[in-house]
Homo-oligomer: A and B are copies of this chain.
Amino acid sequence: MSDALYTHQVQIYYEDTDLSGIVYHANYLKYFERAREHIIGPAELARLWNEQGLGFVVYKAELTFREGARLGDTIEIRTRAHLASPYRAVFDQNVYKPGSQTPMVEGRVEMVCIDPTKKLVPIPVPL
Protein backbone atom coordinates (compact mmCIF):
# COMPACT_ATOMS: atom_id res chain seq x y z
CA MET A 1 0.00 0.00 0.00
CA SER A 2 1.33 3.33 -1.07
CA ASP A 3 1.07 6.76 0.45
CA ALA A 4 2.28 8.53 -2.64
CA LEU A 5 0.25 11.49 -3.85
CA TYR A 6 0.03 11.80 -7.62
CA THR A 7 -0.94 15.15 -9.10
CA HIS A 8 -2.32 15.45 -12.62
CA GLN A 9 -3.29 18.79 -14.12
CA VAL A 10 -6.29 19.26 -16.40
CA GLN A 11 -6.99 22.35 -18.48
CA ILE A 12 -10.69 23.17 -18.85
CA TYR A 13 -11.82 23.84 -22.43
CA TYR A 14 -15.15 24.67 -24.12
CA GLU A 15 -15.70 20.92 -24.62
CA ASP A 16 -15.74 20.38 -20.86
CA THR A 17 -18.49 22.83 -20.00
CA ASP A 18 -22.24 22.73 -20.39
CA LEU A 19 -24.76 25.55 -20.73
CA SER A 20 -24.62 26.24 -17.00
CA GLY A 21 -21.07 27.53 -17.53
CA ILE A 22 -19.36 24.91 -15.40
CA VAL A 23 -17.82 21.54 -16.18
CA TYR A 24 -20.39 18.87 -17.01
CA HIS A 25 -20.40 16.48 -14.06
CA ALA A 26 -19.67 13.26 -15.96
CA ASN A 27 -16.40 14.71 -17.21
CA TYR A 28 -14.75 14.42 -13.80
CA LEU A 29 -14.82 10.66 -14.25
CA LYS A 30 -12.77 11.23 -17.40
CA TYR A 31 -10.28 13.41 -15.55
CA PHE A 32 -9.98 10.81 -12.82
CA GLU A 33 -9.28 8.17 -15.43
CA ARG A 34 -6.61 10.31 -17.10
CA ALA A 35 -4.93 10.73 -13.72
CA ARG A 36 -5.06 6.98 -13.06
CA GLU A 37 -3.63 6.23 -16.49
CA HIS A 38 -0.64 8.42 -15.73
CA ILE A 39 -0.05 6.56 -12.47
CA ILE A 40 0.10 3.23 -14.29
CA GLY A 41 1.58 4.76 -17.43
CA PRO A 42 -0.30 5.02 -20.73
CA ALA A 43 2.30 2.91 -22.51
CA GLU A 44 2.13 0.19 -19.87
CA LEU A 45 -1.68 0.22 -20.03
CA ALA A 46 -1.54 -0.14 -23.80
CA ARG A 47 1.00 -2.94 -23.49
CA LEU A 48 -1.14 -4.87 -20.98
CA TRP A 49 -4.12 -4.54 -23.31
CA ASN A 50 -2.36 -5.31 -26.58
CA GLU A 51 -0.04 -8.10 -25.42
CA GLN A 52 -2.03 -9.77 -22.65
CA GLY A 53 -5.61 -8.66 -23.27
CA LEU A 54 -5.77 -7.32 -19.74
CA GLY A 55 -8.16 -4.43 -19.23
CA PHE A 56 -8.95 -2.28 -16.22
CA VAL A 57 -12.62 -1.90 -15.44
CA VAL A 58 -14.25 0.54 -13.07
CA TYR A 59 -16.30 -1.38 -10.52
CA LYS A 60 -17.48 1.44 -8.29
CA ALA A 61 -17.37 5.21 -8.41
CA GLU A 62 -18.49 7.78 -5.87
CA LEU A 63 -18.35 11.51 -6.43
CA THR A 64 -19.32 14.53 -4.37
CA PHE A 65 -19.44 17.79 -6.28
CA ARG A 66 -18.81 20.94 -4.22
CA GLU A 67 -17.69 23.55 -6.72
CA GLY A 68 -17.66 23.57 -10.50
CA ALA A 69 -14.58 24.28 -12.58
CA ARG A 70 -14.89 26.82 -15.39
CA LEU A 71 -13.46 27.61 -18.82
CA GLY A 72 -9.86 28.70 -18.47
CA ASP A 73 -9.36 26.98 -15.12
CA THR A 74 -6.51 24.61 -14.56
CA ILE A 75 -7.45 22.00 -12.01
CA GLU A 76 -5.42 19.40 -10.21
CA ILE A 77 -6.49 15.82 -9.74
CA ARG A 78 -4.73 14.58 -6.62
CA THR A 79 -4.80 10.82 -6.33
CA ARG A 80 -3.80 8.28 -3.71
CA ALA A 81 -3.97 4.65 -4.76
CA HIS A 82 -3.88 1.43 -2.81
CA LEU A 83 -4.81 -2.20 -3.21
CA ALA A 84 -7.79 -3.17 -1.08
CA SER A 85 -7.10 -6.76 -2.10
CA PRO A 86 -4.89 -8.34 -4.78
CA TYR A 87 -7.90 -7.98 -7.11
CA ARG A 88 -9.17 -4.53 -6.23
CA ALA A 89 -7.47 -1.17 -6.62
CA VAL A 90 -8.89 1.86 -4.84
CA PHE A 91 -8.15 5.38 -5.98
CA ASP A 92 -9.03 8.35 -3.80
CA GLN A 93 -9.17 11.23 -6.23
CA ASN A 94 -9.97 14.82 -5.38
CA VAL A 95 -10.06 17.93 -7.53
CA TYR A 96 -8.44 21.18 -6.43
CA LYS A 97 -7.43 24.51 -7.81
CA PRO A 98 -3.62 24.69 -7.78
CA GLY A 99 -2.39 25.66 -4.33
CA SER A 100 -5.76 25.10 -2.68
CA GLN A 101 -6.56 22.54 0.01
CA THR A 102 -10.35 22.84 -0.45
CA PRO A 103 -11.61 20.08 -2.73
CA MET A 104 -13.95 21.09 -5.57
CA VAL A 105 -14.86 17.46 -6.22
CA GLU A 106 -14.16 14.41 -4.08
CA GLY A 107 -14.10 10.98 -5.60
CA ARG A 108 -13.32 7.37 -4.96
CA VAL A 109 -12.97 4.87 -7.79
CA GLU A 110 -12.53 1.13 -7.37
CA MET A 111 -11.09 -0.87 -10.23
CA VAL A 112 -10.61 -4.47 -11.10
CA CYS A 113 -8.66 -6.07 -13.92
CA ILE A 114 -10.08 -8.69 -16.27
CA ASP A 115 -8.57 -11.03 -18.80
CA PRO A 116 -9.94 -11.74 -22.31
CA THR A 117 -12.43 -14.26 -20.89
CA LYS A 118 -13.69 -11.57 -18.48
CA LYS A 119 -12.21 -13.43 -15.51
CA LEU A 120 -10.87 -11.30 -12.66
CA VAL A 121 -7.09 -11.32 -12.43
CA PRO A 122 -4.85 -9.80 -9.77
CA ILE A 123 -4.05 -6.14 -10.38
CA PRO A 124 -0.96 -6.49 -12.62
CA VAL A 125 0.82 -3.32 -11.60
CA PRO A 126 2.26 -2.07 -8.31
CA LEU A 127 0.17 0.59 -6.57
Contact = CB atoms under 8 A, between A and B. Distances in A.
A interface, by DSSP: helix, strand, loop or mixed? mixed
A53 B47 CA distance: 22
Report how many copies the assembly holds: 4
Given A71-B42, A72-B42, A24 B15 contact: yes
B15 A61 contact: no
Interface in A1-41: 11-15, 17-22, 24-27, 29-30, 33-34, 37
18 contacts: A13-B30, A14-B19, A15-B30, A15-B34, A19-B19, A19-B21, A19-B22, A20-B55, A25-B33, A26-B26, A26-B33, A43-B72, A45-B71, A46-B70, A49-B71, A59-B64, A60-B63, A61-B61
